[in-house]
Amino acid sequence: MVMQDILGSKGAGLAEMSNLNLPIPNGFTITTELCNYFYQNNYNLPKDFNKELSVAIKNLELESGKVFGDTSKPLLLSVRSGARTSMPGMMDTILNLGMNDEVCEALLHTTNNKLFAFDSYRRFLEMYGTIVILIPPGLFKDAFERHKIKHNIYQENEINEEFLKEIIKEFKNIILNNSAEPFTDPYLQLEKAIKAVLKSWMSERAITYRKLHNIPDNPGTAINVQTMVFGNQGSDSATGVVFTRNPSTGENKIFGEYLINAQGEDVVSGTRTPNHITSDDNKCTYSMQNTMPELFEQLQEICKKLELHYLDVQDIEFTIESGKLYLLQTRIAKRTALASIKIATDMVEEKLISKQQAIMRIDPETLNQLLHTAIDYSQLKTPIAKGLPASPGAATGIVVFSPYDAEKMSHHHKVILVRHDTSPDDINGMHISSGILTKRGGMTSHAAVVARGMGKPCVCGANDLIIDEKRQIFKVGDVTVKHGDLITIDGSTGKIFLGEVPLIPPTFTKEFQTILDWADEIATLKVRSNAETTLDAITSLQFGATGIGLCRTEHMFFDQYKIPLVREMIIAPNLEHRKHAIEKLLPLQIKDFKALFKIMHDKPINIRLLDPPLHEFLPTTEIDKQNLATSMSLPLNIVEQRLHTLYEVNPMLGHRGCRLGITYPEIYQMQVLAILTAIRELQVEDNKNTILELMIPLISDVNELKAIKKYIKNTITEIEAIHKCKFDLTLGTMIELPKAALQADKIASEVDYFSFGTNDLTQTTYGISRDDVASFFPDYLEKKIFTFDPFNKLDEEGVGELINIAIKRGLYTNPKLKLGICGEHAGNPISIEFFHKAGIHYISCSPYRIPIARIAAAQAKI
C-alpha cells in the first residue's frame, strides 16, 4: 500500500480516521522520505526542513488556539514514530514536548491543575532524558521509586504535589549531570526529538524485531507530530487500548483496558495494572462501562465504524481529556491463531468478507499454537499462582530471570523467562524462551502483545510473585522458586505450576473445522501424511489427511522386538541365514501392515520399501554384539567381521535405497509378501479394501528400477497364485537424486507415479549432508552466503528446477503420471505454494502439519 509506505501505518491510520470524521488530535505527518534522507546524509536533516516545520507548527497553533513554547497558552506536542508495518513498542515516542519551567507554570495557570502540570513535566523530563539524551532509564526509575518510599506512596494515584515537585527537581538534576546541552528551548527539543525518533529506527531492538518478522529496513519510519491530548488531567481523564473483538478468543465483543488519570504509555508498559473497558457481567466495578458509560457507548460506536471501514479487527489507542474522547491510533489487531480463525469464520457469517478472504487471513504457521499442548486439567495439580492469560498454550521450562540467561540456558533447556515486566529490549530473550511470565502488566502490556505475535505462551500480571532478580529467586506464598527450577505456565488460563504438568494434545474448535473444510473446497493440492504407526495414522485422519503419502517401512523395524531380527537379517553371512531371519520377521510385518491398513481402509497408502543405510541398524555396544552372536549361534568374531564389511564411510550415499533391493532381493520380496498378505487377510476377514501404492526409493538409473520391478512383479504373481486373487496396486518411485530427475522421461514410462523426496534431493543437489550442516551452516547464514535454510524452505532455483524438469519430462512419456511430494518442505507454506504451481497432485507431511498444509494449499490456489 503506497500510502503506508510514505505516511507509515500510524500516519495512514490517522489520515483515514480523520476522513471518517473521528475525533483525533490535530497534527501532521512527516513522510518516510525524511528518514531515508537522514540516514543517507550522516544524520542531518534537509536545509529547509526547519522552515517547513515551523509553517506546519504555525498551522497547529492556529487550529488549537495555543502557541508552541508560549508562556501564557502553551501548546504541547507529541512526536511519534510510525513505520510502514506496525512494530509495537519497538520505536520511540516523546510526549509533552515543549515543556520547561515557564511552560509548566503557564500550564498550571491555564488549567488550574497543579498535579496535572507537574505530572506532565516529570513525564516529559523522563522521556526526553532517556530517548533524546540517552540517559539509562534506570536512573529515572530508581529515583522515582526512592521518592515513593520516602513519601509513603504505594500506588500512583496517591502521588501528590510535594512528591512531584521533588521528582521534577531530581529529574532535572539527572539530566544536567548527564548532559551539558541545553534542553529547555521548545524548538530545539522538537528538532532533537525528531532526530531521536529517526534514530530509533536503527535501534538494536527495532532491527531485531524487523529481522524476526521479515520486515525490510526500507522505507524507514515516518514521524507524526500531534497536539497533546491529556489523559492525566484528573478523574474525568483516562487513556486506554481497545480491540474491536477479543484478540485472544476472537469473541465478537470489544475488549480492552484503560487507566484513569494516566498517559498512554502507562497502559502498554505494564507499570500499573489497568482496568477493563467492558464490565464483563458486572464483575469489574472500575470498568469504563461502569464509570464512564457515555464515553463507553461512544467508543463502542467508533469500534463498529472502524471495523466496518477496514473490514478487519482493529487495535485502537485512545485518550480521554476532561470527558472528551480522542483516538490516537488504529491498526489491524494482532491476534492469536484461535482468535484469527474465530474472527475469520464469524466475519464470513456476518457477510463482511468472503471465504477466500477468510482463508487468506489465517497465517498457517501460527496454527501450530492450536495444534500443540494444553494442560491436562483432569489430573489437576494446584497452581502456585495465577496471572492473566495473555497468550495461550502451555509451556514447561526452567526459570531464568534475564534475557541474557535465557539465551545462555536455552542451548540445553527449555526456559521460561520470568520478569517484573518486559521491555522491548527483552525481545531476543523472549524469542528464545518457551514461555514468558511477568509480575506486572495487563493483557495489552508489551510482554502480552509480543508473546501473542510470537505464538508463545505468556502469563502476565502475576501480582503475587515477589521477584528478587539479584538473588535469582521468586517467592509466592511460602514457595520459593530458584533460577533453574522447573515450572509450567498456562497462557490459556494464567495458571502457574511448580515442575512439570501432564499436557494433552489440543482439540479442534468447530470454527477451525469450518475453515479447514472451506480450504479443502478451494484447494486442488491434496494433503497426505507421513505415517507408519497406528497412532500416527489415527492422528492424520483426525487432522484431515487424504491418505498416507509416505510409509517408511524401516520405522516399523525400530522396536525392541524387531531390531534384533533386523540385525540378524543384515548380518546374515549367507542367503540361507538371511532367509531364516526374514521368516521370523514376516509375521510381525504382516501384523503391523494389517493394523495400519485397517485404519486407513479406503484411503491410499504409499509404502516405501526399505530405504536407509544398513549401517543405521547395526549394533554398536559390546553387549548388543554379543547378544546378536548368541541369538544367531555364531562366534563373536564372525559377527565382528561382518560388521566390519558393512561399515560405510558415507552411509547416506552408500548401500541404501534400491541398492539394497539389488543386492538383497529377498528383503524387498519379504516386504511385498508381508504387504500383500496383510491386504488379503483384511479382505477375507473384514471385507476391507486397501488402496496400495508401492514405492522404490533412491533410484538413479532406470535399469535399477527395471531390475527390481521385474522380481517384484514375479513375487506378486506368485502370491496371487497362492491366494487365487488379483491385487490392484500402483507402482512408483522416489525422485530424490539429480540423475533420476534428469532422466525422468525414461523412469516415468516404468511407473505410475513419482514422489519427490525433497530432503534427499536437497542434500544431493547441494552436495550437503543434512546431518552435518551444523558445522558450517551458521556461518553461511551469518555471512549471508545463504539467506535461508534449504532443508526448511525449498530451494526453488536449484532443487525446484530439478522438480520442474522431472515433471515435464515425466509427463512427456507418461501423461497419467501422478506426482507427490514427501519431505520436510511439504509442511512449509511457502514451498507449498511452489508445489501447487509446479502441478504436484499431493504433498505428504507429518501429521501435526496437516492443518497448516491444508490452509496453505488453499492459499496457493487463491
Nearer to ligand ADP, 95 or 741 (CB): 95
Q: Which of 328/729 has CB closer to ligand ADP?
A: 328
CA dist 393 and 406 (Å) reads: 19
- Report how far residue 264's alpha carbon sits from residue 317's, in angstroms, rounded to the nearest whole number: 8
CA dist list (Å): 150 to 87, 118, 157, 170:
38, 18, 16, 14
312, 315, 317, 511: which one binds ligand ADP (CB under 6 A): 317
Does the protein bind Mg ion through residue 490 (CB under 5 A)? no
Known catalytic membership, residue 601:
no
Answer yes or no whether residue 226 interacts with ligand ADP by CB under 6 A. yes
* Contact status: 11 vs ligand ADP (CB under 6 A): no
| Contact status: 757 vs Mg ion (CB under 5 A) | yes
- Nearest one of 420, 390, 422, 426 to 406, comparing CA atoms: 426
* 237 sits near ligand ADP (criterion: CB under 6 A): no
Interface residue with ligand ADP, options 236, 251, 265, 425 (CB under 6 A)? 265
Residue 328 found at the interface with ligand ADP (CB under 6 A): yes
736 touches, from Mg ion, ligand ADP, none (C-beta below 5 to 8 Å by class): Mg ion
- Say how far apart CA 328 and CA 318 lie, in whole Å: 5
Q: How far is the CB of 221 from ligand ADP (least distance, A)?
A: 9
d(CA 615, CA 645): 10
Site for ligand ADP in 71-100 (CB under 6 A): 78, 80-81, 89, 91, 93, 95
Of 249, 266, 205, whose CA–CA distance to 369 is shortest?
A: 249
**Which of positions 95-154 make contact with ligand ADP (CB under 6 A)?**
95
Shortest distance, position 265 Cβ to ligand ADP, whole Å: 5
Q: In the set 315, 693, 736, 833, which binds Mg ion (CB under 5 A)?
A: 736
Question: Which residue of this chain has its Cβ atom nearest to ligand ADP in the complex?
Answer: 264
> Taking contact as CB under 6 A, which single stretch among the options 37-45, 259-267, 283-291, 626-634 is the one that binds ligand ADP?
259-267
Report how many helices (DSSP H) and strands (DSSP E) the chain contains, helices first. Answer: 34, 32
Instruction: Please choose, out of 569-577, 596-604, 755-763, 834-842, the segment that lies near Mg ion by the rule CB under 5 A.
Output: 755-763
Judged by CB under 6 A, the stretch of 260-268, 509-517, 580-588, 630-638 that binds ligand ADP is 260-268
83 binds, among Mg ion, ligand ADP, none (CB under 5 to 8 A by kind): none
233 near 91, Cβ under 8 Å?
no
Q: Which of 346, 490, 760, 833 binds Mg ion (CB under 5 A)?
A: 760
**Residue 698 zone, left/alpha/beta (φ > 0; ψ -120 to 50; rest):** left
Q: 679, 521, 704, 675: which is closest to 601 by C-alpha? A: 679
Cβ atoms of 457 and 501 closer than 8 Å: no
| Active-site residue identified among 822, 825, 836, 845 | 822
Give the separation between CA 229 and CA 328, rounded to whole angstroms.
Answer: 9
Question: Which residue has 491385487 as its cell numbers?
Answer: 727
Our CB check for ligand ADP shows the closer of 266 and 693 to be: 266
Select the residue interacting with ligand ADP from 239, 300, 396, 762 (CB under 6 A).
239
CB within 8 Å of 782: residues ≥ 6 apart:
none
Interior/surface letters 458-491, b for 16+ CB within 10 angstroms, e for the rest: bbbbbeebebeeeebbbebeeeebebeebbbbbb
- CB 386 → Mg ion: shortest distance, Å? 29
Sequence-separated (6 or more) residues with CB below 8 Å from residue 242:
254, 255, 256, 258, 277, 299, 303, 315, 316, 318
3-state helix, strand, coil in the chain (%, to 5): 50, 15, 35
CB of residue 65 vs ligand ADP: minimum separation in angstroms? 16
Q: Is 737 near ligand ADP (CB under 6 A)?
A: no
Residues forming beta bridges with residue 481, ordered by sequence position: 474
Active site residue 551: no
Q: Is the sign of the CA dihedral 25, 31, 32, 37 positive or negative?
A: negative
Q: Which is nearer to ligand ADP, 93 or 765 (CB)?
A: 93
CB atoms within 10 A of CB 38: 22
Nearest to 424, CA basis, from 727, 251, 209: 209
Instruction: Please report how close the Cβ of residue 76 comes to ligand ADP at its closest, in angstroms.
Output: 9
Stretch that binds Mg ion, among 62-70, 315-323, 511-519, 626-634 (CB under 5 A): 315-323
Catalytic residue among 446, 615, 825, 836: 446
Which CB sits closer to ligand ADP, 269 or 759? Answer: 269
- Could you give the residue ranges of the DSSP H alpha helices within 292-367? 293-310, 337-349, 355-360
Q: Which of 226, 237, 329, 669 binds Mg ion (CB under 5 A)?
A: 329
Q: Could you give the CA distance from residue 639 to residue 645 in angstroms, rounded to a whole number?
A: 10
Q: Does residue 8 touch Mg ion according to CB under 5 A? A: no
Which residues bind to Mg ion, rule: CB under 5 A? 317, 329, 736, 757, 760
Residues that are catalytic:
446, 822
| Residues contributing to the site for ligand ADP (CB under 6 A) | 25, 78, 80-81, 89, 91, 93, 95, 226, 228-229, 239, 263-265, 268, 317, 319, 328-329
